[in-house]
Amino acid sequence: MVKQLLSESQQDYLKIVLDLINEKKVARTKEIAHRKGVSMPSVTEAMQKLSQENYVQYSAREFIELTPKGEEAALRLTSKYAFLKHFLVDVLGIQDEIADKDACKLEHHLNKSTLDRFILLYQFLTECPKSDKRTINLFKECIKAAEGDFLCDSDCKSCFISSNFPHRFGEKTIHTLLSKLNRGQKGRVIMLGPDSEIRLSLIDKGLLPGSEFHVEEIGDANRPFVVQTDGCLIELDEEAAKMIEVAIEQPE
């Protein structure tokens, strides 16, 4: 007995079919194609294959239905997806359409035990009596600050660039801002400031918490800083450099 696993695409089809049956009583080729963003022949082909493996009840030009096996699979997938979307939207504050896509990806790719840890984190933040209920609200203030909404009564902006906890990057390190370093110094990124646009560009360039770097050129208001992370040169203007909190070795 060979255990046939569903491909990612097949999983998507099953979820879509379930959704359509719930919403509109019947699942039609055209609508499935539309939701999945593929052509109708692709749907026909997929349904034929799924029907061979007994996930759907399908014969040409008749209603597409889920078999018990297919329904079970679809429901498992859907509930994982629903939780993940929930987490992304409610805890992380991700925008709806992006959360949709990412929840779907996560549902496909996350290991069981990792999913469980996300559930645990969710439970912890929203329900655990030991965790301060304010925690999640504080985090939401952070999000607002990161989105540039400083109208909120938090002073997160300064918090982002002035924390100085000793941290996991070693005992003998001190924390400062990248903008204060000299040429030749090495360090490790601890935090990125909240400014949304710069933040995202830094992330895109690969300068994330935990990244090691080396200062190639120091800059000022007119010239850019140039830092290297493992060989990749990144230019930063002063504004960006002031947003990057770093850990450096204690100078002797």
Q: Is 90 in the site for a copy of itself (CB under 8 A)?
A: yes
User: Contacts with a copy of itself: how many residues (CB under 8 A)?
Assistant: 84
What is the rounded distance in angstroms from the CA atom of residue 197 to the CA atom of residue 188?
21
What residues from 145 to 204 belong to the interface with a copy of itself (CB under 8 A)? 146, 154, 156, 159-160, 163, 165, 167-168, 190-192, 199-200, 203-204
To DNA, the closest distance from the beta carbon of 35 in angstroms equals 12
Beta bridge partners of 213: 187
Q: Is 25 in the site for DNA (CB under 7 A)?
A: no
What is the rounded distance in angstroms from the CA atom of residue 149 to the CA atom of residue 94?
15
CA angle 165-211-190, nearest 5°? 15
Q: Is 51 in the site for DNA (CB under 7 A)?
A: no
Ramachandran bin of 54, using left for φ above 0, alpha for ψ from -120 to 50, beta for the remaining angles = left
Q: Is 118 in the site for a copy of itself (CB under 8 A)?
A: yes
Q: Is 131 in the site for a copy of itself (CB under 8 A)?
A: yes
Stretch that binds a copy of itself, among 29-37, 46-54, 56-64, 118-126 (CB under 8 A): 118-126
What is the rounded distance in angstroms from the CA atom of residue 39 to the CA atom of residue 29?
9
Specify the residue, 19 or 217, whose C-beta has the smaller distance to a copy of itself.
19
Specify the residue, 33 or 173, whose C-beta has the smaller distance to a copy of itself.
173
Specify the residue, 7 or 196, whose C-beta has the smaller distance to DNA.
7
Stretch that binds a copy of itself, among 9-17, 34-42, 105-113, 217-225 (CB under 8 A): 105-113
Task: Find, among 222, 221, 227, the residue nearest to 248 by Cα.
Answer: 227
Phi then psi dihedrals of residue 237, to 5 deg: -85, 175
Q: Are 84 and 73 in contact (CB under 8 A)?
A: no
Q: Is 39 in the site for DNA (CB under 7 A)?
A: yes
What is the rounded distance in angstroms from the CA atom of residue 73 to the CA atom of residue 116?
18
Based on its alpha-carbon atoms, the radius of gyration of the chain, rounded to whole angstroms, reads 25
Considering only 142, 152, 177, 226, the residue that binds a copy of itself (CB under 8 A) is 142
Q: Which residues bind DNA (CB under 7 A)?
A: 7-10, 28-30, 36-49, 58, 60-61
